[in-house]
Amino acid sequence: MTNSTITPVILCGGSGTRLWPVSRKGFPKQFIDLIGEGSLFQQSSKRLSGKGFSGPLVVTNSDFRFIATQQLHDAGITPGAVLIEPEARNTAPALLAAALTMAKTDPAAIMLAAPSDHYITQADVFCDNVMRGLDAARSGQIVTFGIKPDRPETGFGYLELGDGETHGAMPLKRFVEKPELAEAERMLADGGYLWNAGIFMYAADTLIDAFQAHAPEMLDQVRAAVDQAEPDLGFLRLDPEAWSQCDDISVDFAIMEKVSNLSVIAHDGDWSDMGGWNAVHQHATKDADGVALQGHAHAVDCKDTLLRSESGAVQLVGLGLENIVAVAMQDAVLVADRRLTSTLGDVVKQMRSAGVPQADTFPKDHRPWGFFETLILSSSFQVKRIVVNPGAALSLQSHKHRSEHWIVVIGTAKVTVGPDQDNLNIQMVRENESVYIPLGAIHRMENPGDIPMELIEVQTGSYLGEDDIIRYEDVYARGQGAKG
String of DSSP letters for 229-252: -EEETTEEE--HHHHHTS----HI
> What's the rounded mean pLDDT across residues 384-403?
95
Residue 70 has pLDDT above 80, yes or no: yes
> What's the rounded mean pLDDT across residues 222-231?
96
Distance (Å, whole) CA 196 – CA 347: 26
In the chain, what are the domain boundaries? 7-272, 285-343, 364-473
Distance (Å, whole) CA 7 – CA 263: 19
Output phi, psi for 145, to 5 deg: -110, 120
> What's the rounded mean pLDDT across residues 439-468?
94
- In this structure, whether the domain defined by 364-473 belongs to CATH 2.60.120.10 is answered with yes
Residue 465 has pLDDT above 90, yes or no: no
Residue 16 has pLDDT above 80, yes or no: no
DSSP character for 24?
Answer: B
pLDDT of residue 482: 59
3-class DSSP state of 292: strand
pLDDT of residue 1: 38
Output phi, psi for 107, to 5 deg: -60, -25
- Candidates 3.90.1720.10, 3.10.450.50, 3.90.550.10, 3.40.630.10; CATH matching 7-272: 3.90.550.10
CB neighbour burial string for 193-220, b if at least 16 within 10 angstroms, e if fewer: bbbbbbbbbbbbbbbbbbbeeebeebbe
218 touches 226 (CB < 8 A): no
pLDDT of residue 2: 43
Q: Tens digit of pLDDT for each residue in 17-64?
A: 899 999 998 889 999 999 989 999 999 999 999 899 999 999 999 888
Residue 254 has pLDDT above 70, yes or no: yes
Identify the sign of the CA torsion 99, 103, 104, 105.
positive
Instruction: Cis check for the bond before 21: say yes or no (omega within 30 of 0).
Output: yes
> What's the rounded mean pLDDT across residues 186-207?
95
Output phi, psi for 360, to 5 deg: -125, -30
pLDDT of residue 224: 97
Residue 464 has pLDDT above 70, yes or no: yes
Comparing 10-19, 318-327, 332-341, 421-430, which segment has the lowest mean pLDDT?
10-19
> What's the rounded mean pLDDT across residues 122-141?
93
pLDDT band at 166 (very low <50, low <70, confident <90, very high): confident
Q: Tens digit of pLDDT for each residue in 327-341?
A: 999 899 999 999 999
pLDDT of residue 483: 56
Residue 111 has pLDDT above 50, yes or no: yes
pLDDT of residue 387: 97
Burial grade of 364 (CB within 10 A; 0-12, 13-18, 19 or more): middle
pTM: 0.87
pLDDT band at 280 (very low <50, low <70, confident <90, very high): very high
Residue 425 has pLDDT above 80, yes or no: yes
What are residue 202's DSSP bridge partners? Answer: 111
Output phi, psi for 208, to 5 deg: -60, -40
> What's the rounded mean pLDDT across residues 142-168?
90
The residue with greater pLDDT, 17 or 324, is 324
pLDDT band at 484 (very low <50, low <70, confident <90, very high): very low
